[in-house]
Each structure stands twice: as C-alpha cells, then as structure tokens.
Amino acid sequence: MVNENPGAGTSQSNGLSRINKRLATLAAIVASLGVIGGGVWGAVAHANDLRRLLPHVSAAISTSAGAQYHVLTQYRNGISVAGYYSYPPGDKLQHVIMAMSDGKLDHRAFHGKGDSTVDRVLDYNFGDIKQLSAYQSDDRTQHVIVETVQGPTYEVSLQGVGATPGPSVPTRYGSDLDDALNVVGYYSRGDRQAHLVVRQRDFSLQVLTRQTASDHFDKEELLQADGSRFDGIQSIAAYYADSDKLDHILVATIDGKLHEIWRGAKSGEHVINTVSGARSVSAYYSPNDGFQHVVTLTDKGEILHFRFESDLGNASTPISVATTQAPDAVAAYAAGDGYEHVIVGATDVSSHGGSVYEIWFRTDALQVKPGN
C-alpha cells in the first residue's frame, strides 16, 4: 500500500517532472475554461491551486492545495463505494463500504484520515452490485443499502464498535423495489424514520417510508416545482440537515442540472447548480461548517465539490476538491475529526485494477473566490 500526501514534499525523476509540467499545463487550460456553470460560479480553480502528483499506484490523482489523500486499499475489477461517519452515540469511527467484483462487501472502519482499524469482508454474495448507500439511525444501527443489477435491493444492518454485521442474512426488500433503477437510503431526524429514495422503472422519483410492522411502504412522488417529473435522472443522493431541520434530495439530470428538493415542515424544488457531464452525485450536511456539501463525478473523470447555505439553496463559492483518472464511484461525508472526507474508487483501464482513495480537507483551506 502506498500513502501519498500532496501537502508534503515529493522527490521525482526528471521524467516525472516533465510529465507533471504537462499535467500542470492541462490543468491551467481546464481551470481557465471553468468546470462549473457560469455566472456567480465562475471558474472553480486556477492552475496554481492544484498540485499534481503521479503516485506509484494504478491511478493518478491530484488534489487542490490544502487537501490531503492516501490510498485506502487496492482492488481488482469494478467497485461501488459508500462512506459515512458514526456520530455519538455511535462508535465515532469513519466507515467505508466497498462492493467488490465477487459480489461481497468489504468494510473498513477507522478513527481518522486513513488510520484503518477494522477490515472485514461481509461474507454474503449479492451478485452484481450496482450501487451502495449507507447511513446511521438514532438507535446507533448503521444501515447499508445494496442495489443489485439483477433487481433485488437488500439492507445490511451493522452494530457495535467497528460495526459488526447484525442479522447473518441481509434483509431483502419486497416487490416495491424490484423494478427500481436507483435506490439510496437516509435517516431523517425530522420524523425519526428511515427513508428510501427510488427512481422507478416508469421514471417516477419516489420517497418510500416503511409502514409500521409491515413490509410495505408509504410512497410519495417527488416532482419539479412546475409539477412535472424529472427527465433523464443520472444520480440521486439524500440526507437530513440539522441546520434547517429538513430532508434534502439531490438529483443530477442528463442536462447537467443539479436539482435540490427539500421536504419536511417546508417543501420545494429548484436547480442549485449546473455541472456539465455530471453522472454521479454524493451530498451531505456537515456540522463542521454548517453547510450542505455536494460532490459530483463527471463523465470526464472530474470530481467537483461545492457547498451551499442551509437557507434552501443560496449557494456559496464553489471549491475544487480533486480530479482523478478513470474514477468509477465517489462518496462523501463529514467526520468528527473536523474534516470533510471524499472516498474515490478509481480504475486503471489498462490493468482493470484500481485503488480506493480517501481525501480529507477543511473547506476554509480550499476556498476559491470567483474571478481570483
């Protein structure tokens, strides 16, 4: 395993130096164009804000000045990732769940910034795993939602320090989810219930809430402000924000728009940003800075981060977190160490192997003002 820290000095050969110069030139071109939509967003970062490294692992990664990263693990073939922090009264550990090509889940739990303390494979074969999401409920149970290519969606319960598996056999959801195209789970402190956000095969977007002592769900369809359905959904994310005490659902559509839906005591929908080529989104509320955070993965392999205030969508200055080569999956969360964390699964297309990176940063260290 190789650890890399872009904040530390790196000795490189002349050949690598020449490559880095070329990468810096490319970064300058990309930064000058701006990767997040125009207006108040402006260009995300300039070339001198990026430090380019070529670690001796299977995928190259670069981060904004002020961010740090390391390789959490290496793997073979495809992967999906989920990450979260278990706040008190939980175990106060960071958790990363990885879906491996053999259909099993690899679970890492650690105290901070890569200090791996638990490495456990959940020995159940889910088949071809399409997507993961994970969250913690108020009873300290940690929940992993496993969406499979074959159709069934499962839930794995994790409990105790290091989050050992609960039931030996994961719970399989019923027919309500068999035709789902996307499924993510979250816990709301507003109504103190777990929810699933589901894009169904008829392209409707629904919030599902399990009925008491039943395998059936209450369903609520989510619509745009004009009453229409969302067209061309690429990815969804969901979370609860303590700042406004509302549930938030982020929807990335094929036209690059990032829609925010809020529900609870108030409800509504609007577009908070446009990210060209956004194909995956991860979002969360951070008690570290009181902001809501959105991390997007684009079809060009860019990983972009911005945050916004808790007053229903007024956005702050965008921040560039990182870019990788051939990333497959991204997950993001805030942790009790005061840092924001981004988990990236990236593949080397030539070897079909890859690495899972952990990036950590404080947003005040990455702030880039529009036009600067």
Residue 201: the pLDDT is: 87
Q: Is residue 49 part of a domain?
A: yes
Domain CATH code at residue 109: 2.120.10.70
Mean pLDDT throughout 298-313?
A: 72
Residue 25: the pLDDT is: 35
Q: Is residue 5 part of a domain?
A: no
Residue 234: the pLDDT is: 93
User: For residue 350, how many C-alpha atoms fall within 13 Å in the half-sphere facing its CB?
Assistant: 5
Q: Is residue 372 part of a domain?
A: no
Residue 297: the pLDDT is: 86
Say if residue 180's pLDDT is above 80.
yes
Q: Is residue 6 part of a domain?
A: no
Q: What's the pLDDT tens digit per position in 341-355? A: 988 887 766 666 678
Say if residue 183's pLDDT is above 90.
yes
Residue 4: the pLDDT is: 31
Chain mean pLDDT for the chain: 74
Q: State the CB neighbour count (10 A cutoff) for residue 12.
A: 12
**7 pLDDT tier (thresholds 50, 70, 90):** very low
Say if residue 22's pLDDT is above 60.
no
Say if residue 308's pLDDT is above 60.
yes
Q: Is residue 201 part of a domain?
A: yes
Q: Is residue 200 part of a domain?
A: yes
Mean pLDDT throughout 196-206?
A: 93
Rg, C-alpha atoms of the chain? 20
Domain ranges, residue 42: 14-366
Mean pLDDT throughout 44-66?
A: 36
Nearest alpha carbon to residue 203 among 247, 152, 254: 254
Higher pLDDT: 105 or 63? It is: 105
The total of structural domains in the chain comes to: 1
Say if residue 12's pLDDT is above 90.
no
Say if residue 223's pLDDT is above 90.
yes
**76 pLDDT tier (thresholds 50, 70, 90):** low
Question: DSSP characters for 138-178?
Answer: TTS-EEEEEEETTS-EEEEEEETTTTEESSSSPEEP-GGGT
Q: Is residue 7 part of a domain?
A: no
Higher pLDDT: 152 or 318? It is: 152
Q: Is residue 212 part of a domain?
A: yes
Residue 63: the pLDDT is: 62
Predicted TM-score (pTM) of this structure = 0.78
Residue 314: the pLDDT is: 46
